[in-house]
Amino acid sequence: MTVKVGIIMGSQSDWPTMKETADILDTLGVAYEARIVSAHRTPDRLWEYGKTAIARGLEVIVAGAGGAAHLPGMIASKTRLPVIGVPVQTRALSGLDSLYSIVQMPRGFPVATMAIGAAGAANAGLMAAGILALNDPDLARRLDDWRTALSTAIPEDPRHD
């Protein structure tokens, strides 16, 4: 299966959050790669990743980072691929720092910013799948089924047990 989604994160410590993206993509049968690419600690790796992403066949990048979270914006500056940003929850400021760092991009270099933390990471997987599903009817069907199953699992009566 061709790898079309790149999941990148600023640190090993982001993986428990970003694994939520990976888990959704596993469920939907979307091939991905996961890499630690830090804007601050490995800037050359970041540059190389952004520069080669299209040539390597990637179609969407999910970038998660916390604190001074420059990774999603920096990768967006190096590739025209859609970049989905995930603000990782931090201890000091609960992820508001991450959110503000990612969401407030200057005109011209968008980052589609998700919610803070695990829900945002899972939604990033769904968003990436939704983008790929535009040109992949089988994936579109799997995504529709996933959404239907989620709806069906919600009981109407809160006293169901």
How many Cα atoms within 13 Å fall on the side-chain side of residue 100?
8
14 is in an annotated binding site: yes
For ligand RP5, the closer CB: 4 or 117: 117
User: Rg for the chain (alpha carbons), in Å?
Assistant: 16
Which of 5, 25, 38, 75 lies at the binding interface for ligand RP5 (CB under 6 A)?
38
Q: Find tokens 């049968």 and name the residue.
A: 29
The answer to whether 14 contacts ligand RP5 (rule: CB under 6 A) is yes
| Cα(145)–Cα(149) distance, integer angstroms | 6
Residue nearest ligand RP5 (C-beta atom): 10
Question: What would the two tokens of residue 140 be?
Answer: 């579109």
The answer to whether 66 contacts ligand RP5 (rule: CB under 6 A) is yes
To ligand RP5, the closest distance from the beta carbon of 64 in angstroms equals: 7
The answer to whether 6 contacts ligand RP5 (rule: CB under 6 A) is no
**Hey, how many other C-beta atoms are within 10 angstroms of the C-beta on 131?**
18
Q: Which residues bind ligand RP5 (CB under 6 A)?
A: 10-11, 13-14, 38, 40, 65-67, 88
